[in-house]
Amino acid sequence: MSDPTTPTSEQDWRATLSPAEYAVLREGGTEPAFRGEYTDTETEGVYACRACGAELFTSREKFHSGCGWPAFFAPADADNVRLIEDRSHGMIRTEVRCAKCDSHLGHVFRGEGFSTPTDERYCINSISMTLRPATN
C-alpha cells in the first residue's frame, strides 16, 4: 500500500525536494566527497530517507571508512533498502535504493577488508538522509 504523503510523480518530487536533493535522490547523482552533513557525525540515532522518512540505517551500524561519505556496515532492516545492479560509468556496482519510495541512496561495496561484522560498506549520500537523534 502506498503512503499518501509520498509524492508519486516526478513533478511532485521536484516540488518537494531541493534541486540538490532531487539530483541525488531521483536522478542517481552523488554529492561531493567529504562535504556531506553526516560524513563524520557520531550522533546516536536513526538515519531516515530524506524523501519519504523510511528508516534506513542507525548510528550503531555507522563507521568511519575514510571514503568521504557516511558509511554503514548494514541497513537497520534489510527490507527497507533495495539493491540493484548498476552498470553506469563503466563499472559494475550495487546501487542502494529506498524500498519505500525508490530513491537513490548510494552504493554498497563488499570485501574491502573493513573490520566490521559484514565486511560491507554502504556508502550513502548525506543528502539522501535525515538524522533523527536518539532521545535518551
* CA–CA distance, 46 with 128 (Å, rounded to integer): 13
Number of domains the chain contains: 1
* CA–CA distance, 34 with 42 (Å, rounded to integer): 15
In a domain, 2, yes or no: no
In a domain, 84, yes or no: yes
* CA–CA distance, 93 with 78 (Å, rounded to integer): 18
Provide the CATH number for the domain around residue 71. Answer: 2.170.150.20
Q: What is the pLDDT of residues 52-107, one digit of tens each?
A: 999 999 999 999 999 999 999 999 999 999 999 988 878 888 999 999 999 999 99
Query: 56 with 129: CB under 8 angstroms?
Result: yes
Catalytic residues: 123
In a domain, 3, yes or no: no
Q: What range defines the domain where residue 21 resides? A: 10-133
Confidence at residue 1, expressed as pLDDT on a 0 to 100 scale: 38
In a domain, 1, yes or no: no
